[in-house]
Structure 1
C-alpha cells in the first residue's frame, strides 16, 4: 500500500503493541456483566483497547460488536462517551461510496461514466478515468496533492476540482492500484453535477437521514466555517451512527425494513474493482491478513478476505486515525471501533493505528471460538507467582503438555489438542508474555521452565510428557535439565539448545545500553516491520503446504503483543547454561528431537548433550512442522510415545 506521503503517514512508524493479557481477577464488574448478558467473554478485546488508551495512544475510544443482529459487546474507554463525535478519516470512504451509489441509482450518473462526460475540463488521460476507477484507486490520478502544493481544504468541491485538473496523472486509468483519496473529490463533484446538490446534502438525504445518523457529517470539518467535503477522509461520526450504516450494509442495503440502497449497489461495492490493475506496493490486505490476492478493493472498501470463489467475506474501511468499521461474513458479525490517535504520542512510540485496529476482528473470532469449545474442555488461569498463566485441559490418561513457540500461543496446537486428548490428559497453555497469560517484568527474573513446574504442581501432575516446538522445545529442554524426575518423555520439535546467555550471565550495564538502543531501532523501523520480517523468516523454508499455514501463523503473530523485542528481557531460558547441566547428569528420560525435513542439515547441539536422544525427521515440513504437516507430526509423536 502506498504511504500517505504528504498528509498522514509521515507522522508514523509502524508499531502494534497488543496487550493480550487477561486475568479473571482483574475483570471489571461491568465486563463480567457483559459476559453474563451476551454469553461471550470479550475481556481480552477490552484489555487490548484499554492498554492502548493507558499508553496514551488514544485519549478515549468506544466499540460496538453485533452478531446475528444482536449487540454482543459494547464499551466506552477513556474520556469518550456514547455520543462522542470523532473524525473518522478513511472510514468515511465507505460512507462516501454508499452516497455515490445512491446517486447512481437515482440519476443518469453511471459507475462507468468517464470523468470528461461530467467535467470536460479534464482533457488529458485523467478525463478517461471512470467513476468506478475513481472510487477503487485505479483511476491513475495522483493519490494526494503534491507536498509543495496547497492542501485540499477549499470551500467547495468545485474549487477543489480546479486544483486537481492540472495535476499530472500517475498512470493510465485501470492499470495501477494506488491507495489515496484525491480522485474521490472528482467523483463527489460528478455526483453534485448529476443531482444539482452539494455533496453534504446528497449524503444527508440519501444515507444519513434514512439511517438516523444525526451526528455524521462531511462538512464542516473544523471550526473555520466549512470546507469542501473530503470524501476520502474528512467525515465525522459517532459509534451508534456508524453502527446503523453497518447494519444497512450487512443486510444488503435494507435498514429496519426500508431499502436504503439496492442490493445490487451493495454487491458492486463489495465486488473486486481492481481487476488487472497492477498493485505496485504491498497493499493493506496483504500486510494485515497475509493474503496474497489481487482483488483487494471494491468501491470505497477493502476486501480483506475472500472465500474460495473470490467473494469478499471480511470487508472494512480502516483509517490512519484508528477508526475501524468491519463486516465479517464468516461469523455474521459487524463492528465499529471508534477512536482518534494522539499523533505526538503515537509518533514517539511508533504506534500505527492503521495497521493496529484490524487485529480486532481476529480477536473477536477467537471469542466465538472459545465460546464454542466443547464443555469437556477445562479452561482457567494458574497463579505461578508474579503472573497468571492461561491453560486448557482435555482428556484422561497420562499427562501430556504442549508448549508453543515464540510469538505464538496455545492455539498453535489446534491440530494436536483434540487428537491426543483421545488417549492422554492433554494440557496446552500460554507461556508468560504470550496469548492470554500475563506479561513478564524486566526486573523480575524467572524461567519458563519454573513456570511450567508450578503449573504442573497446581494441576497435581507428578510426571508428564512434554511436546514443545521451537521456543517450546527450548523450554522442554530446560525442564529436562532441571526436573528430569518430573518427566515421562520429551519431544523437542524444531528444538535445540538456545544459543544465548543464560541466568548465570546477568545483564551488564553495557549490555543493557546496547539493548535499549536495539529497542529504539525496532520502534523507529516499526514493530510491525519486525512482525512481517519474523513471519517471512518462518515461511522461508518448508514443504508443499508452507503457504497453506501462512495465515494461521500470521494471526498468532499479529495478536502477539511483542513484549520480548520491546524490553530487556530477563533470562527466561537456560540457553548456553543448559549444556553443562545436561552433560553433568545421566538422562534416562526418552527424548526425541523432531526435526523438520527442511532443517535436516542443521547441527543440533541437543543431540550432543543427550546421547540417548533420537532424531526423527518430519517429512514435507519446515520450522512450524506441527501445523504444516500435522498428520505426520502426530503420527511420529504417537509412535514415539508408544515405544518409550
Structure 2
C-alpha cells in the first residue's frame, strides 16, 4: 500500500514539476514575444511640436492628455498651464452642448426631428421648418453668425438671444447646405429649455457636468462680467481633466465609471452622418486637415474627420479656432484633449492657424503607437552631428542600403520599401536635418545634406553603401556621388535630376535676402497652412492610376512637417547648379540609376548629360512620388539594379 502511494506521489510530483516548467516556458515565450513587438511610447515629437508653438508665443501655455483604453499614457503641461488651468474652449464646447441636448431628448418629449416652429412658433419662415438635428449639424439654413452691424452676443438669457435671431433672413433651405457656424445652436438650446423648464446651464450641470465630475466646466458666465446667455457653439470654459472625463464617457458609448450618462443610441446618433444630401463646399475643414473628400463630415456637434468603408466614424473631434482640440480615435483606441487658447495678434502676424494646426496631434499620436509596435530588431536612434541630431532606423544584414526621403517628407516615406529590402540588405532610413524627428537647421549656419549623410555613415560604421533617394533625396544622392564617390556601392535617384538652384558657390546677397524676406512675409499673410495645401496639390497634380490613393499618406507627412524651409532664408543645403561641373570633371565609376515616373518620361533630364553612363529606367504607372504610387514596380526595378550592380 505504501509502495503504491509512493508511486502515485512520484507521478503527481513529476506532473506538477512539468506543469510548473511549462508555465515558466510559456511566460518566457510570452515575454519574448512582447519584447519583439513592443517598445515604450515616445511622445517627444509631440512635445517638441507643442513647445515650438509656445516658444513662438502663439500660446502662453498649453496642456495635453492622451488616454488609451482609459489609461493615461501622456499628460504634459507647457508654459504657465497646470492641471487646474481653466480655459475658454470656443468650439470645443459644441460637443458638450450636443451631449446636453441629447440628454434632454432622452428624458423629455423633445425629438431630434422636431421642427423649430413646434417649440418656437414665432419662427414663421423657412427657419421654422429646420429640425433640431439640423440646428446641431450646420444644415439648418440659419445664418452662421450675427451680422457685423448687429448687436453683440451678450444677452442675459437664451430667450433674449433667440429674439435677435428670429428676424434674420435665412441663408438656405433647411437640409440643403452645410455652413459651419454656431448661431442656430442658440435656438436648439432654447428648445431644450422649453422642454425641461430649466435654463441651459442647469441642464448641462445636472445631466452632464455633475455626473461626470466636471467641476470646473460651465457655459455661463462666458466672461468676467458675470452674466450672459450661454453660447452653445463657442462659450464653454473647461479644464484638461474635466474634458477628459467627457471623452471617456463618449468612448464608452455613454457609460462613465459604470454609470449611464447617455444612452448608446444617443452617442451613435451624435456620431452618425447628419449631412446626408446637403451640399458641402470645396476645401471644408475635413478636406483641409485630412486631405480626403467625403460628404458625411459632421454629426451632431462633432466633426467626422475620418470614416471607414461602411461610413462609420473613426476619428471624431470638436476643434476650436482658439486651438483647444478634443478627439477620439477608434483606430488606436485612444482619446485626447489639447487645451490652449491662442494669442491672436502673434498668430495672425505669423500666419499661424490654431484651428488647422491642432488636428495634426492625433496623427502624431498614431505615429507614437506605430513606433512602439516596431519589432525590437529594428534599431532606432539619433546620430550626433555636433550641432544637430538626426533620427534613423536600421534593419537587416548584408550590404548597406540607405533611403533618403523627399522634401516635406520624412523617413516614413519608405514604409513600402524598408521591410522588403531589409530581407536582403542592411537598410537605413533617416530624417534629414529640418525634417521628421531630426533637428532643425539655423539661418546663417551652412552645411550640406550630403555631408550630414557622410556623418551618418561614419557613425554607423558604414564604409560604402547603396543610396536610394527620391526628389530631394535624389539631389542629396547626386551631391554625395559628386563629393564622396569612394563611399558608394551604387546610387539610385528617383525623380532625379539636377536641382537648378544656386549652390554654395553663390551665397545669399543682401538683395536676395531682402526679396526672400518679402516672400516669407507674403506667405505668412496668406497663412502658412496655405503653402502646405498648395504644395500637396503640386505633388498630386499628375500621376498614375494610383495617385489618389497616396494623397492621404503624402498629406500626413506634409501636415507633420515643421515647414522650416519655406519660412526661412535657407542655407545652401544642396550643391544645386554647382554639381554640374563637378560631375562632368570626374569619372563616375559606380553604377547609377535614374528612376523616372512614366508621367515624366518626356521631360529632358540634365543629370543624364552629367553622367552619360547612368541608366535611366521608367517606373510604369507613376509620377513624381513613384515609390509610393507604384511600390511593386519601384521595388522590382531597384532590386534588379542592386542585384546586377557589380556586373
Matched, 1:595 2:587: no
C-alpha distance in 1 between matches for 2:640 and 2:82: 58
Q: What residue number does 1:558 align with?
A: 559
SS in 2 for 1:56: coil
Summarize the alignment of residues 5-24 of structure 1 with structure 2, pairs less than 5 Å apart.
none
Q: Which runs of 4+ in 1 moved over 3 A?
A: none
Look up the match of 1:455: 456
Query: What secondary structure is seen at the aligned counterpart in 1 of 2:409?
Result: coil
Cα separation, 2, equivalents of 1:608 and 1:55? 45
Larger radius of gyration: 2
Matched residues in 2 for 1:335 and 1:116: separation?
38
Could you tell me how far 1:500 is from its partner in structure 2?
Answer: 0.2
1:42 has 2:36 as partner: no
Task: Give yes or no for contact 2:322–2:354 (8 Å, CA) kept in 1.
Answer: yes
Alignment of 1:194-233 (within 5 A): 194-233=195-234
In 2: Cα distance, 1:640 partner to 1:495 partner: 16
Question: Cα deviation per residue 1:227-257 (whole Å; 9 max; x = unaligned)?
Answer: 0000000000001100000000000000000
| SS in structure 1 of the partner of residue 98 of structure 2 | helix
CA distance in 1: counterparts of 2:507 and 2:114, whole angstroms: 69
Contact 2:39 2:373 (C-alpha < 8 Å) held by counterparts: no
Q: Kindly report which structure 2 residues correspond to 1:577-616, keeping only aligned pairs within 5 A, or say none.
A: 577-616=578-617
For the Cα contact (< 8 Å) 2:39–2:376, is it kept in 1? Answer: no
Q: Which has the higher contact order (CA 8 A, sep 6+)?
A: 1
**Deviation by residue 1:379-433 (Cα, 9 ceiling, x = unmatched):** 1111123111000000000000000000000000000000000000000000000
Deviation at 1:594, TM superposition (A): 0.1
How far, CA to CA, are the matches of 1:199 and 1:258 in structure 2? 22
Deviation string for 1:494-513 (max 9, x for gaps)?
11110000000000000000
Q: Secondary structure at the match of 2:242?
A: helix
**1:183-208: CA deviation from partner (whole Å, max 9, x where unpaired):** 00000000000000000000000000
- Which residue matches 1:493? 494
Distance 1:299 1:622 in 2: 40
Structure 1 position 588, deviation (Å): 0.9
Deviates more, 1:317-326 or 1:340-349: 340-349
Residue of structure 2 in register with 1:170 after alignment:
171
- Residue in structure 1 matched with residue 306 of structure 2 by the alignment: 305
Q: Deviations over 1:101-157 (max 9, x none)?
A: 000000000000000000000000000000000000000000000111111110000
Report if the CA contact (8 A) 2:136-2:300 is conserved.
yes
Distance (Å, rounded) in 2 between the aligned partners of 1:347 and 1:544: 40
* Corresponding residue SS for 1:61: strand
Paired with 2:39 and 2:355, the residues of 1 have a C-alpha distance of 29
8 Å CA contact 2:83–2:240 kept in 1: the answer is: yes
Give the Cα–Cα distance (whole angstroms) in 2 for the partners of residues 153 and 625 of structure 1: 56
Structure 2 counterparts to residues 407-556 of structure 1, below 5 A: 407-556=408-557
- 1:353-380 CA deviation, whole Å, 9 max, x = no partner? 1001000000000000011111100111
Residue 295 of structure 1 aligns to a residue in which SS?
Answer: coil
Write the deviation string for residues 600-622 of structure 1: whole angstroms up to 9, x where unpaired.
11111100100000111111111
Deviation, structure 1 residue 560: 0.2
**Number of equivalenced pairs:** 608
For 1:618-637, list aligned pairs within 5 A: 618-637=619-638
Q: Secondary structure at the match of 1:176?
A: coil
Which 5+ residue runs of structure 1 have no aligned equivalent?
1-36
Counting only pairs closer than 5 Å after superposition, residues 230-241 of structure 1 correspond to structure 2 as 230-241=231-242
What SS does the corresponding residue of 2:453 show, helix, strand or coil?
helix
Contact 1:38 1:72 in 2 (8 A): no
Q: CA deviation at 1:38?
A: 9.8
What is the match of residue 359 of structure 1? 360
| Alignment partners' CA distance in 1, 2:408 and 2:478 | 19
1:52 is aligned to: 53
Once the 2 structures are TM-superposed, how far is the Cα of residue 39 of structure 1 from its aligned partner?
3.0
Alpha-carbon distance in 2 for matches of 1:384, 1:598? 38
Cα deviation, residue 209, structure 1: 0.5
- Residues 321-344 of structure 1 show CA distances to partners (whole Å, capped at 9, x for unaligned) of 000000000000000000001111
Query: So what's the TM-score if we normalise by structure 1?
Result: 0.94
Alignment of structure 1 residues 235-384 onto 2, 5 Å: 235-384=236-385
Contact 1:401 1:428 in 2 (8 A): yes
CA distance in 2 between counterparts of 1:619 and 1:271 reads 41
Equivalent residues of 2:393, 2:428 under 8 A apart: yes
Please name the residue that 1:23 is paired with: none
* Contact 1:38-1:73 within 8 A present in 2 as well: no
Matched-pair contact (CA < 8 Å) for 1:64–1:75: yes
Structure 1: how far apart are the matches of 2:576 and 2:174? 57
Q: Structure 2: which 5+ runs fail to align?
A: 1-37
Shift of residue 473, structure 1, vs aligned partner = 0.2
- Do 2:157 and 2:228's aligned partners in 1 also have CA atoms closer than 8 Å? yes
Q: 8 Å contact 1:503–1:571 — kept in the other structure? A: yes
* CA displacement 1:242-300 (0-9 Å, x = unmatched): 00000000000000000100000000000000000001242111100111100000000
**For 2:101, what is the secondary structure of its paired residue?**
helix
Q: How does 1:69-218 map to 2 (within 5 A)?
A: 69-218=70-219
- What secondary structure sits across from 1:479 in the alignment? helix
Could you tell me how far apart the structure 2 residues matched to 1:568 and 1:173 are? Answer: 50
Aligned partners of 1:206 and 1:260 also within 8 Å = yes
SS of equivalent residue, structure 1 residue 492: strand
Output the aligned Cα RMSD.
0.9
